[in-house]
Structure 1
Amino acid sequence: MSLAETASQEVSGSTQPVLSVRNLTTSFKVENRWRPVVKDISFDVAPGETVAIVGESGSGKSVTSLSIMRLLPKNSSRVEGSVRLTGRELLTLPDEQMRQVRGNEISMIFQEPMTSLNPIFPIGKQIAEALTVHKDISKSEARAEVVRLLEKVRIPNAKDRYDEFPHQFSGGMRQRVMIAMALASKPKLLIADEPTTALDVTIQGQILDLIKTLQDEEGMSVLFITHDMGVVAEVADRTIVMFRGEAVETGPTGEIFLRGRHPYTRALLSAVPRLGSMADRKLPLRFPSISIETGEQVELQEVTDTVARNKLPIVDVRNLTTRFDIHSGLFGRKTGAVHAVEKVSFQLFEGETLALVGESGCGKSTTGRSVTRLITPTSGDVTIDGYNVLQLDKTSLRSMRRSIQMVFQDPFASLNPRMSIGSAVMEPYLEHRLGTKGQARDKAADLLEKVGLSADMMGRFPHEFSGGQRQRIAIARALMLDPKVIVADEAVSALDVSIKAQVCNLLLDLQQSLKLAYLFISHDMAVVERVSHRVAVMYLGEIVEIGPRAAVFENPQHSYTRKLMAAVPIPDPSRRGIKRNTAVDEIRSPIRPPGYVPPPRQYREVSAGHLVQVS
C-alpha cells in the first residue's frame, strides 16, 4: 500500500480532513533546470488532529509547509499536485482569494519571530492589523480582542504590554505574540514551523503546553514541523518522517516510536538523548551510531577516564565578576549595571568536561568569554595553564590563548566566507608563527582528517559545507594551536539531532586522544548529561548548583535545576497530552541600580563535591 493510500485511510471515520495533500511535488529552478526538493508527498490532517512532519535540515519539511501556503517565489519554484483545505483546492486559487485564506483559515508561525514582527511597530498594533485585514471591526473592538488574545496566550499584564515593541519582549514572549497573531482569525489549521527550536528548554516547554491548551480550547488542527523527536512524541497524533524530499514513513506517533521500520526513522530516534539514560554511569558515553542506509547500529564505545584529578587544575576561576555599565540621559551618566556574572568560582582539570547550563541571559556565555578574556571581567581571579589571565598584557594574552580556544554556536558567522576552509584552519598557526606555510598546510590536512573531513576539501569555501561540517571545521581550527582547554559555547545547539550526536562523539573522541578539557556551555540538559563529568547550573549570573554529573542529575537540589530538568521533552508518546504547567515567568532582569551590593551567598555540601546555593 502506498503512503498516499495509507494517509487517506488514517483519517478517522468519514470526517472530511481539514487539510488533504496529494502527490505534492515542489521543484526549484537551478541553472535553468527544475530540481525537485519535495517529491510526491501525500497526507491528511483531520479536525482537531496534530500531525508532525519530522526530518533534518534539507529534508523538505519546511518547503512542504511553504508550498501549502503558496509562499514560495513564483519565478523560481514550481508546485504540482493537490492541496485541499476543507475540500477547496488551494493551488489553483486566484491570488486575491489565497490572500484571504492565509491568516484567516490557515495561519503559520515560524522559528524566529523577529523575522515576522516589525521592530518599529508596537506588538498590539501588529496583531490588530491581522484582525482588521480579515474582519470589519472598529479600532476599539480590535484593541479589546488583541488584549483578549494576549491573555489567552498567557502574556502577563496584557493590557499594559499592548503598546510595547518586539525588542521589549523575551524570545519566548515574542513567540507567544506570534501565536496570538496566528490565532487572531480563529484558523482551521495552524502550521507551526520549528516554533520551539530557538528557545530555551523551559520556554520550549511552556510553548508546547500553550499549543496543546489552545488546540483543546479552539479545536483547531495543527501541522507541526520539527527535527526534534522529543517534541514530536509530546505533541503529535500522527507523524510523517521525511528524508531527502520524500515521506519515508508515516503512521500513528506511538507506532513510529515503538516500531519504526525505515532505517532513517531508527537513526533519528537513536540520536535523541534521553534524560535519565546515564543512571549508574560515572563517565560520559558516546551516542549510538546507526546507518541511515541499513539501520544497523554500531555498538557504543565506552569512554575511558582521562581526568587528571591528582594534578593542579588547568583552569581555576575564583570569584569571577563581570558587569556592564548602563549609561543614559543627556550627559550619559551611569544609571545602572548589568550584573552578568557574579562571583563565579570553579575548577577544570585535564581531560574533564565541566558543563555550564542555564537559560539565555543566565551569564554562561559571558562566563566563557570572561575566562578567555574576550570580555574584560570586572574582578576576580582566573588562572589558565599557569597564566594569571586578568593580569596579562597584550603579548602575554596572545600566548595564553594558545592554551584555550573557543568554538561558537554559529560556525558560519566565525568563518570568513571569502576564505577557503584550508586558509581558515591554517590562519591561527601562521598568526602565532608556529611554523612554515607548508607545515601549517600539513597540520591542517591532518586535523581535517581527524575531525572526519578530508584534506582535499581545503580549497572549498564555507558555503559549500553543511552546518555539521562547518562545526567540524571550527573544531579543527581551534585545535591548530594544540590547546589544552576548549570552551564550546552552545557548539551543538543549532545542529540537527543526528549531526549533534556526531559532533558530540567527535568531541569525546578528541578528548580521549588529546586529553582536552572542555568548558561545555549549553541549555540542552539531555546532551549535557551525556557528555559531562561535572555540571554547574547558572541562574542570574550565579552558580546555584555544582557537582558531579551523576549527583546533580540524580539528586537535583536547587529548584531551578529541577525546573530545567522537568522541561526537557521526553521521546515517549505516552506523554502525549501531559502538560507541565510551568509558571509563565520571564527570566528576571540582571540589571541593578548604581551601588547595588549583591547579598553574600552560602553553599551547602549535599555530597562529595555536590554544592547547592542556600537561598
Structure 2
Amino acid sequence: MATAHVEAVRSAQPVLSVENLTTSFNVDGKWKPVVRDISFTVAPGETVAIVGESGSGKSVTSLSIMRLLQEGTSRIEGKIMLGGRNLLALPEREMRQVRGNEVAMIFQEPMTSLNPLFTIGDQISEALLCHKAMSAAEAKAETIRLLDKVRIPSAASRFDEYPHRFSGGMRQRVMIAMALASKPKLLIADEPTTALDVTIQGQILDLIKMLQDEEGTSVLFITHDMGVVAEIADRTVVMYRGEQVETGATADIFHRGQHPYTRALLSAVPVLGSMQNYQRPLRFPVVDNVTGLSDTPVEVVDTVSRERPILEVKNLTKRFAIHSGLLSRLVGRVHAVENVSFDLHAGETLSLVGESGCGKSTTGRAIMRLIEPTSGSVTVEGRDVLALDKREMREMRKSVQMIFQDPYASLNPRMTVGQAIAEPYLEHKMGTTKQAKDVVADMLRKVGLIPDMAGRYPHEFSGGQRQRICIARALALEPKVIVADESVSALDVSVKAQVINLMLDLQQSLNLAFLFISHDMAVVERVSHRVAVMYLGEIVEIGPRASVFGNPQHDYTKKLMAAVPVPDPDRRRDKRVPIGDELKSPIRAADHVQPIRKYRTISDGHLVAV
C-alpha cells in the first residue's frame, strides 16, 4: 500500500476500535483472564494482523469481537466500537444482525464451517436472504456472481454441488464469497491459509487483497505465519500469552521490532534461499518464551551412509478405480502415484514436496502398505515389502514407522500417553510391561518431555507436545526409517522449530532415515539432503537440495518456490500465483495408458522430467 494511502487510512475514522479488551473464562468457579487489556483500531480499507503462537489469545480476541464465546462460561470486558456502537452493549438480537452483515468471519478449516448436507449455492444464498431483502432467484443470481468473483471456475454449474466436491482452496474461496455476500465493513480472517498448500495460500492472499481493493473492506487478519503478515498487513499487533507486547506499522515491526519476543519470532521464520552457504541440514533457532532466542542455527553433523540404500522404491504405482452406474462399471481411474522411483540411505532426509493431490501422502502410505500399491517394488533392508505376508509385514513395520499430520487424531483420547507409547512395544512383544515403562520414560526424555507426563491424556497437551508424543511412539520400536507426513505443517513457527530440531537431533544420534513429506518449501530447504518434487502423481524433479533449490529446472518447481511468502514487507509481490491455477485432475479413462516419463540429467544426481 502506498505511503500516502496509509496516512490517509490512519487519519480516517476507525471501522473497528478495541479498547482495553479483557476476556476471562470460568475455571473451577474462578474467572481466569486469557486476553488482558488489548487495544487497537482498524481503519477503512486497512489490513491489521494479529500475530502470535497458539495460546497467545489471538483467536479468543476475534471471537470476543464477534461475541461468539459461550455465555456463562466467558466474560468480555472493555469496549468494542463498530460504527459508533459498542458491540458489548448490544442485545443478542441486534448482534445477530451485525454478524455476517457488518462484520464477517472466515475460519481456518472451511470444511467444518460448511454444512455437508447443503449445496454451496444454498449456503451462500442463505446469508443473502437473512440480511438482504431479495427473492430466491435474486439471491441465486447474486451467489453465482460472488462465486465468479472469487474465481470459482464454471460458477453457475457448481451452484448445486456439495462441499466435498471442492478442493481445500476452493472451499476457502466459497467461505470468502459467503463472508463478502452482505458487503461487510470488516472481514475477520482467522488463520484462513494455515492448512493450505503454498500456491493455494498465495492465491487466497491475492484474492483477499484484490477484493479488498475493489470493495474497500477492512481486514483483521489472524495468523502465526510471519511471511503472510509481511505479504498482507499494513499494521501488526504482536500477542504473547494473552497480552499485546508490540504494535506498529508492519515494516517497523519487521525491521525495527523492539520486543525480544517479536525479534525471536522473526528469527525463527525459515526464509527460502537462506541455505546457500550451508551444505547440510540446519537447526532452527528456537523462540525461548519472552527472552529471545535460546540457541543459534548450526549445521547438523552428516551421518548419511554411502552403503546400500535402506529403502528402495522402484516404479511405484497406485491407481484407484472409479465405478459408476447400477452395475458399478469401471469408468475411470485416479492415477494417484505413477512410476515413482527413489532410494533413501541411513541418516538421510529425502523430502517429497508438492500440492495437495500430487500423490506424496499416497506414496508414503503405499510404502507402508497402509494402502496396497497397484504395481512396482518397495525394498527395505533388502526385503521386498510387497511380497511379505501379514505376520512378516507386522515385523517390517518395526523398521519403518509413520508420523501423521494431526497428532490428536493419531492418539486414542481414552489412553494415557504412556499407554499409547507402550502399546506398539508390547504388541510386538519387544519386552515385558515393566520394561515398557522404562522405554516410555526413556522415549519421553528423548523428545524433551518429562517421564511423569506418561499418566496424562492427549487433551492435556499442546499441539507441539502431542507431535512429540507421536515421535516418541514411533521411536519405541527402534525404526530405521520414519515417514513424516506433513508432521509439522499445522504447528506454530516456534513449535515447528522445536519439533524439527528434535527430529534432526534424533536422526543424528540414532542414524534415522526420514522420508519428509511436506508442502512447505522453506522448511524442506532447511532440513533436506535431497528433494523430490511431485506433480500429478509423478516425480518431475529430484536431486540434492542445493541443486534443486539453487538451480530449479521444472516449471512446477519454479512455481512452488515463487509462491512462498517472503517475510519482508519491502518485497511484497503482486499476483505471485495465477488465480484459478488449480492442480489438474489425476482422473483418467479406464483404458488410459500412461506414457513412460523420461528424465534428463542436470548435474550429479539432479534429474528433471522432459
Task: Tell me the TM-score normalised to structure 2 length.
Answer: 0.97
Equivalent residue for 2:606, pick from 603, 607, 610: 610
Give yes or no for the alignment of 1:441 onto 2:437.
Answer: yes
Moved more, 466-475 or 124-133: 124-133
Distance 1:397 1:50 in 2: 53
| Corresponding residue number in structure 2 for 1:563 | 559
Amino acid at match of 1:179: I
SS at match of 1:79: strand
- The aligned runs of 1:373-388 (5 Å cut-off) are 373-388=369-384
Distance 1:277 1:51 in 2: 28
SS at match of 1:344: strand
- The aligned runs of 1:494-533 (5 Å cut-off) are 494-533=490-529
| Corresponding residue number in structure 2 for 1:144 | 141
Distance 1:300 1:61 in 2: 28
SS at match of 1:612: strand
Equivalent residue for 2:481, pick from 454, 469, 485: 485
| Corresponding residue number in structure 2 for 1:71 | 68
- The aligned runs of 1:4-83 (5 Å cut-off) are 14-83=11-80
Amino acid at match of 2:514: Y
CA offset digits 1:128-182 (Å, max 9, x no partner): 2211211112222222222221111111211222222211111111111111111
Equivalent residue for 2:458, pick from 441, 462, 475: 462
**Contiguous gaps of at least 5 residues in structure 2:** 1-5
Amino acid at match of 2:268: A
Give yes or no for the alignment of 1:166 onto 2:163.
Answer: yes
| Corresponding residue number in structure 2 for 1:347 | 343
Equivalent pair of 2:9/2:45 in contact (CA under 8 Å): no
Cα gap change, 1:595/1:296 in structure 2, threshold over 3 Å: closer, same or farther? closer
Equivalent residue for 2:538, pick from 542, 553, 577: 542
Moved over 4 A (4+): 9-14
SS at match of 1:375: coil
Equivalent pair of 2:566/2:572 in contact (CA under 8 Å): no
Equivalent pair of 2:600/2:609 in contact (CA under 8 Å): yes
Distance 1:134 1:202 in 2: 34
Distance 1:318 1:304 in 2: 29
Amino acid at match of 2:284: F
Give yes or no for the alignment of 1:453 onto 2:449.
Answer: yes
- The aligned runs of 1:279-428 (5 Å cut-off) are 279-309=276-306, 311-428=307-424
Equivalent pair of 2:559/2:577 in contact (CA under 8 Å): no
Equivalent pair of 2:352/2:515 in contact (CA under 8 Å): yes
Give yes or no for the alignment of 1:596 onto 2:588.
Answer: no
Once the two structures are TM-superposed, the CA of residue 299 in structure 1 deviates from its matched residue by 2.6
Work out the percentage of aligned pairs sharing the same amino acid: 73
Once the two structures are TM-superposed, the CA of residue 327 in structure 1 deviates from its matched residue by 2.1
Give yes or no for the alignment of 1:237 onto 2:234.
Answer: yes
Distance 1:212 1:27 in 2: 33
Give yes or no for the alignment of 1:215 onto 2:216.
Answer: no
Once the two structures are TM-superposed, the CA of residue 330 in structure 1 deviates from its matched residue by 1.6
Amino acid at match of 2:526: R
Amino acid at match of 1:98: M
Equivalent pair of 1:172/1:203 in contact (CA under 8 Å): yes
SS at match of 1:547: strand
- The aligned runs of 1:244-259 (5 Å cut-off) are 244-259=241-256
Distance 2:572 2:566 in 1: 10
SS at match of 2:333: strand
CA offset digits 1:509-537 (Å, max 9, x no partner): 01111111000000111100000000001
Once the two structures are TM-superposed, the CA of residue 293 in structure 1 deviates from its matched residue by 2.9
Distance 1:194 1:213 in 2: 18
Amino acid at match of 1:406: M
Distance 2:463 2:574 in 1: 33
Equivalent pair of 1:363/1:539 in contact (CA under 8 Å): yes
Cα gap change, 1:13/1:589 in structure 2, threshold over 3 Å: closer, same or farther? closer
| Corresponding residue number in structure 2 for 1:270 | 267
Equivalent residue for 1:94, pick from 84, 91, 94: 91
Distance 1:253 1:541 in 2: 39
Moved more, 125-134 or 573-582: 573-582
Distance 1:446 1:125 in 2: 54
CA offset digits 1:247-282 (Å, max 9, x no partner): 111111111111222222122111111000001322
Distance 1:214 1:429 in 2: 54
Amino acid at match of 2:267: S
Distance 1:585 1:318 in 2: 31
Q: Please provide the CA RMSD for this pair.
A: 1.5
Cα gap change, 1:317/1:43 in structure 2, threshold over 3 Å: closer, same or farther? same
Once the two structures are TM-superposed, the CA of residue 34 in structure 1 deviates from its matched residue by 1.2
Amino acid at match of 1:165: Y
Distance 2:8 2:240 in 1: 23
SS at match of 2:89: coil
Task: Tell me the TM-score normalised to structure 1 length.
Answer: 0.96
Distance 2:167 2:10 in 1: 43
Distance 1:222 1:12 in 2: 13
SS at match of 2:88: coil
Cα gap change, 1:539/1:86 in structure 2, threshold over 3 Å: closer, same or farther? same
